[in-house]
Amino acid sequence: MVASAIFLTDLKVIISRNYRGDIPPSSCLSTFSKYIAETDDLTRLPIFTDDGYTYAYIKYNNLYLLGVTKRNSNVSLLTIYLYRLVGVFRDYFGELEDESIRDNFVIIYELLDETMDHGYPQALDSKILREYITQEGNRMEVVAKPPVALTNAVSWRSEGIKHKKNEIFLDVVEKLNLLVGANGTVLSSEIIGAVKMKSFLSGMPELKLGLNDKLMFEATGRTQQAKGKAVELEDIKFHQCVRLARFENDRTISFIPPDGEFDLMTYRLNTHVKPLIWVEAVVEPHKGSRIEYMIKTKSQFKSRSIANNVEIIIPVPTDVDSPSFKSSVGTVTYLPDRDAICWSIKQFHGSREYLMRAHFGLPSIGADEIREGAWKKPISVNFEIPYFTVSGIQVRYLKIIEKSGYQALPWVRYITQGGNYSLRMA
């Protein structure tokens, strides 16, 4: 990617940095302002070309961050740079808006210079930038010597980090997206996973993470591990610290971690999953403008697991009144702003089944409208199950190697959450 210039503008106030001197800034800004004025939100494109120049922009609050290039550049990377730049500004100023720009002209120009050199992106990690660009009010101090991270191959981590207690926390978090049809058939199911880390390790440690990855077992001549099954991960995305060449060669996840919290990797599994929490609803309209709900829910995971903070959201007709509830467990609340009732169960043990009844009056809806069921929406379920992954992914090992030879404590935790989890009503 080679950017010719970067602009921050609300179409009135502007900060610009012309890195290569190969574009006319005033003419480009005039072209961009005209494009924004003559297009509406539905037809406006985030990337467009005009007179041999390529424009890529994002809008944040009332501001536009615009990148212009004259070369045949990778505009996707230019757009990513603009989003990362917003993150840097927010870290320094708390929020990015026209007032914060007016109050921090000097530091913004310094950040523009340090995050891009002659049109090529440089360090965009606030932790690294803060080592040599500090802010006191509207002033900025610059350390004469650049940070080691910029001259080191490991740009995301500084040398000389020290912690009294060397620990690393690893969370495997999976969200289950599920849609069940009115006949009980699973129409779609998807697992979106992330391996999140909090690293408090001294020095420059080398970490190796082993998962029960199916392709890794095949690469090493094994078809299955000793306990449990191997998982075939899809759409894997890594943090920049992971050595991709090593992973592609033998599926080893090897990396030097940033200090603090970060997402090591994300993945997806497009696989058939049985609903972890099953919900059935029977709706009966009665004479006298009344309606009754009979809800049955069942946990379809092992009894040793517990789902916490379960919320079952059941849609009801608009303008119902006089709600009354009876449930075998938990509490039920009417949510008039959402035209729904919420059945909350603090702890839902595995292999359990519960019942709930709800009665409403219907002052303004006729029985025919009820039977048509045009108001029905899917039931949605929110939950969190600790110490459990629906995909079966497991951390086989986490090795920590550092030249000083200290002993570090790795902590691993598994969590499954309900994502877009819906069951259509019969």
Continuous H helices in 251-380: 367-372
Two structure tokens written together for 180 = 């069940």
* Closest CA relative to residue 129, chosen from 89, 96, 162: 89
List the chain pLDDT tens, one digit each, 426 residues. Answer: 678 899 998 877 678 889 888 888 888 988 999 998 888 877 889 999 998 899 999 998 888 999 999 888 788 888 999 999 998 888 888 888 877 787 788 888 888 888 888 888 887 877 777 777 765 434 334 344 445 444 456 778 888 899 999 999 999 999 999 999 999 999 999 999 999 999 999 999 999 999 987 766 665 555 544 445 788 888 899 998 999 888 888 888 999 999 999 999 999 998 899 999 999 999 888 776 888 999 999 999 999 999 999 999 999 988 888 999 999 999 999 999 999 999 999 999 999 999 999 999 987 655 555 555 545 789 999 999 999 999 999 999 999 999 998 989 899 999 999 999 999 987
Going from the C-alpha of 376 to that of each of 8, 235, 315, 405, the distances in angstroms are: 47, 35, 6, 62
User: Structural domain boundaries of the chain?
Assistant: 5-151, 167-272+400-418, 277-386
Which helix (H) or strand (E) segment holds residue 346: the answer is strand 340-349
Q: Do domains 5-151 and 277-386 have the same CATH topology?
A: no
- pLDDT score at 390: 92
Which helix (H) or strand (E) segment holds residue 112: the answer is helix 105-115
Q: What CATH topology corresponds to 5-151?
A: Beta-Lactamase (3.30.450)
Q: How far is the first Cα of the chain from the last one, in angstroms, to the nearest whole number?
A: 53
Going from the C-alpha of 322 to that of each of 210, 215, 355, 358, 368, the distances in angstroms are: 56, 58, 20, 10, 21
Q: What CATH topology corresponds to 167-272+400-418?
A: Immunoglobulin-like (2.60.40)
Q: What CATH topology corresponds to 277-386?
A: Immunoglobulin-like (2.60.40)
CA pair distance 21, 25, nearest whole angstrom:
9
C-alpha torsion sign, points 96, 97, 99, 101: positive
- pLDDT score at 221: 56
HSE-up of residue 319 (Cα within 13 Å, Cβ side): 7
Question: 302 burial class (0-12, 13-18, 19+ CB within 10 angstroms)?
Answer: exposed
- pLDDT score at 136: 47
Cα 246 to the center of its chain, rounded Å: 26
167: helix, strand or coil: strand
Going from the C-alpha of 149 to that of each of 130, 157, 250, 395, the distances in angstroms are: 12, 6, 28, 30
- pLDDT score at 145: 45
- pLDDT score at 298: 97
- pLDDT score at 317: 87
- pLDDT score at 315: 93
Cα 128 to the center of its chain, rounded Å: 23
Residue entry with tokens 């899917």: 378
